[in-house]
């Protein structure tokens, strides 16, 4: 009793009280994140329902990578291949980034608390953005929901007459421009030189990839990532449904040029996700309903694709090691990047307050250094390493919790708007092509800034271009008749 009343006991009591407060906040943050994930899952199942749309792809992929996997990552201190080790009955080791961050940021719990609350706010913001679109355009959303319900009973609708001519011109132009870049930049030679690196020398492959992988031209990268896959899908489906062999041939040439460009990055993800985009489009031509069987099949297809590309690109990674590598790249590396961002801002580097956006930085009179470069320099001592993370990481680096909320609202609203615009007419070639492009846009949203996902990822750019093509088609005559869904809604 006397000890508690003495001056010497007071600091101990204050320290103990502060420690208990932090433990409570840490527990509350985990509970908030878990509750938001549960709410998002219930929203996905019962409000959106399991139709394959841009919105369901967004929430579903977030729950897959930043759901339980996110919680287990921090709770296990980033244990490598956590789930694989638990299923095999073995124990892994914590990731070295945890002690590195703890050494630089003494209040490590504050980092985790901020990250947990931001993930919770992200789910709330995305759902709010979706609901805002639903409230602003109720008739369009009703039409879209009707279209989604009767999707499987519809035949694939394509454009006729002038529509094919417009699409053929666009695809041929895109093929010629991309071929020009591939030839002048010697893409085939780059791929061949990479594949002929002898032995299991991944160090040499990584060095070659760093120095020679990918085109330096931004316009080409934009076409390759955001535009070409959509028009490959569009051309194949429109050519097949309309028996236009010229359109099929043009789309096939664009497919070859695109696959060469994706492979020339010398990375695993671009060609793998291009093939997954084609799988998504093929799936949508038959059904838009996500059942447990189709989900397992799709997951298996994605894993096999990533596994095969990993074996091709990294010859020294075989068998179980390749499986662990794929697991780590999908579930652990994104969460590690997120942790690195939150460990940097604001504990080591202050919030950027807009300087992370190039035009804003110019107006502020500051030299533009992107947040991911600051993060890379903080933890790896170089600006050359790319440390991309979930879009809310960039939002956090710029504007703290306010950025997380606003960016999440925009992401949810954009995805819902894409669905409302392109899926209200039912199973159309344009709708399927846009959803195929949106898959890559959503994936980009999971690993980089919102602005990058909207442009380079094609989440906004691809739908805008699709809309322009449809407008040109209607302008040149041969407007497609109203869809069966529209007639059904009008008759009600």
Mean pLDDT of 195-203: 74
pLDDT at residue 1 above 70?
A: no
Backbone angles phi, psi at 479, to 5 degrees: -75, 135
- For residue 342, give the 3-state DSSP assignment: helix
Distance CA 269, CA 254 (A): 19
Its pTM stands at 0.88
What number is the average pLDDT over the span 13-20?
56
The proportion of the chain whose per-residue pLDDT surpasses 70, expressed as a percent, equals 84
* DSSP secondary structure of 267-306: -SHHHHHHHHHHHHHHHHHH--B--HHHHHHHHHHHHHHH
> What is the average per-residue pLDDT within 100-107?
92
CA atoms within 13 A on the CB side of 30: 13
> Which 3 state secondary structure label does DSSP give 151?
helix
Q: Where are the alpha helices (DSSP H) in 137-212?
A: 138-149, 162-184, 187-195, 202-212
81 phi/psi in degrees, rounded to 5: 50, 50
| Closest to 321 in 3D by CA, of 330, 312, 336, 310 | 310
> How far is 165 from 474, CA to CA, in rounded Å?
12
pLDDT band (50, 70, 90) for residue 310: low
Cis omega (within 30 of 0) on the bond before 68? no
Residue 102 pLDDT exceeds 70: yes
Enumerate the β-bridge partners of residue 289. Answer: 51
Between 488 and 30, where is the model more confident? 30
Q: Distance between CA atoms of 416 and 129, rounded to whole angstroms?
A: 8
Bridge partners, residue 51, by sequence: 289
189 or 159, which is more confident?
189
What's the pLDDT tens digit per position in 397-418? 999 999 999 999 999 999 999 9
pLDDT average, residue stretch 271-276: 89
* pLDDT the model gives residue 315: 53
**Residue 106 dihedral angles phi and psi, to the nearest 5°:** -60, -40
Query: CA–CA separation, 114 vs 396, rounded Å?
Result: 9
**pLDDT > 60? residue 5:** no
Nearest C-alpha neighbor of 397 from the set 362, 356, 363, 361? 356
As a whole number, mean pLDDT of residues 32-58 equals 96
User: Rounded CA gap, 445 and 372, in Å?
Assistant: 14
Confidence of residue 9 (pLDDT cuts 50, 70, 90): very low
pLDDT, position 410: 98
> Average of pLDDT values for 76-82?
81
Please name which of 178, 226, 59, 57 lies closest in space to residue 126, comparing C-alpha atoms: 59
* Residues whose CB is less than 8 angstroms from the CB of residue 33 and which lie 6 or more positions away in sequence, other chains included: 70, 71, 116, 117, 119, 120
d(CA 67, CA 234): 33
pLDDT digits (tens, 9 = 90+) for 421-453: 999 999 999 999 999 999 999 999 999 999 999
User: pLDDT value at position 163?
Assistant: 64
Q: Give the model's confidence band at 484: pLDDT under 50 very low, under 70 low, under 90 confident, else very high.
A: very low
Q: Which residue has the higher pLDDT, 439 or 201?
A: 439
Q: Give the gyration radius of the chain's Cα atoms.
A: 25
> CA 458 to CA 258: how far, in whole Å?
15
Phi/psi at 157 (5° precision) = -100, 130
pLDDT at position 477 is 62
Q: 447 by DSSP, 3-state: which?
A: coil
Task: Give the integer Cα–Cα distance in Å for 28 and 183.
Answer: 57
Q: What average pLDDT score do residues 255-272 get?
A: 91
| Angle between helical axes of 54-66 and 391-422 (0-180°, round to 10) | 150
pLDDT at 419: 97
What's the whole-number average pLDDT of the chain? Answer: 86
CA dist 129 and 143 (Å) reads 19
Alpha-carbon distance of 108 to 106, in angstroms, equals 6
Binned at pLDDT 50, 70 and 90, residue 483 comes out as very low
Highest-scoring range by mean pLDDT, 81-90, 208-217, 308-317:
208-217
pLDDT band, very low/low/confident/very high, at 314 (cuts 50, 70, 90): low
Nearest residue to 230 via CA among 483, 459, 475, 480: 459
d(CA 347, CA 112) in angstroms, rounded, equals 12
pLDDT category at 8 given cuts 50, 70, 90 is: very low
Q: Can you tell me the distance from the alpha carbon of 40 to that of 67, in angstroms, rounded to the nearest whole number?
A: 10
Specify which of 137-141, 199-203, 362-366 reaches the highest per-range mean pLDDT: 137-141
Interval 146-179: pLDDT, tens: 999 999 999 998 765 556 889 999 999 999 999 9
């Amino acid at each position: 009793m006397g000890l508690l009343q003495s001056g010497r006991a007071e600091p101990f009591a204050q320290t103990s009280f502060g420690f208990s407060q932090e433990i409570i906040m840490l527990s509350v943050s985990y509970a908030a994140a878990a509750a938001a994930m549960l709410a998002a899952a219930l929203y996905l199942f019962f409000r959106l329902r399991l139709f394959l749309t841009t919105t369901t792809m967004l929430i579903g992929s977030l729950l897959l990578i930043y759901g339980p996997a996110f919680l287990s990552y921090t709770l296990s201190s980033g244990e490598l291949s956590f789930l694989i080790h638990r299923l095999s009955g073995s124990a892994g080791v914590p990731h070295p980034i945890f002690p590195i961050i703890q050494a630089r940021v003494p209040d490590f719990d504050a980092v985790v608390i901020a990250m947990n609350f931001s993930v919770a706010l992200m789910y709330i913001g995305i759902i709010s953005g979706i609901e805002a679109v639903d409230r602003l355009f109720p008739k369009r959303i009703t039409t879209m929901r009707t279209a989604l319900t009767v999707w499987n009973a519809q035949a694939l609708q394509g454009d006729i007459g002038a529509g094919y001519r417009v699409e053929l011109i666009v695809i041929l132009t895109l093929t010629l421009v991309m071929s020009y870049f591939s030839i002048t930049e010697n893409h085939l030679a780059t791929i061949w030189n990479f594949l002929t690196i002898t032995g299991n020398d991944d160090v040499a492959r990584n060095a070659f990839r760093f120095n020679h992988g990918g085109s330096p031209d931004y316009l080409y990268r934009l076409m390759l990532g955001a535009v070409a896959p959509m028009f490959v899908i569009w051309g194949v489906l429109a050519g097949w449904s309309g028996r236009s062999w010229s359109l099929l041939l043009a789309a096939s040439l664009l497919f070859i040029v695109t696959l060469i460009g994706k492979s020339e990055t010398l990375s695993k993800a671009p060609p793998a996700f291009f093939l997954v985009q084609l799988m998504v489009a093929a799936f949508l031509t038959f059904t838009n309903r996500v059942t447990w069987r189709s989900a397992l099949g799709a997951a298996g297809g994605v894993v096999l694709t990533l596994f095969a590309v990993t074996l091709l690109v990294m010859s020294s990674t075989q068998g179980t090691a390749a499986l662990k590598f794929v697991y780590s790249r999908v579930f652990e590396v994104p969460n590690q990047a997120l942790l690195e961002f939150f460990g940097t801002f604001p504990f080591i580097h202050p919030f950027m307050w807009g300087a992370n956006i190039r035009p804003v930085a110019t107006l502020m009179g500051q030299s533009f250094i992107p947040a991911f470069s600051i993060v890379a320099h903080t933890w790896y001592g170089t600006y050359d390493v790319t440390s991309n993370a979930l879009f809310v990481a960039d939002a956090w680096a710029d504007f703290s919790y306010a950025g997380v909320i606003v960016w999440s609202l925009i992401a949810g609203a954009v995805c819902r708007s894409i669905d409302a615009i392109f899926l209200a007419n039912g199973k159309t070639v344009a709708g399927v092509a846009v959803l195929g492009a949106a898959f890559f846009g959503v994936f980009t949203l999971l690993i980089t800034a919102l602005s990058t996902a909207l442009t380079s990822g094609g989440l906004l750019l691809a739908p805008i271009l699709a809309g322009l093509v449809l407008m040109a088609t209607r302008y040149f005559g041969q407007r497609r008749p109203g869809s069966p869904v529209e007639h059904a809604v009008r008759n009600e």
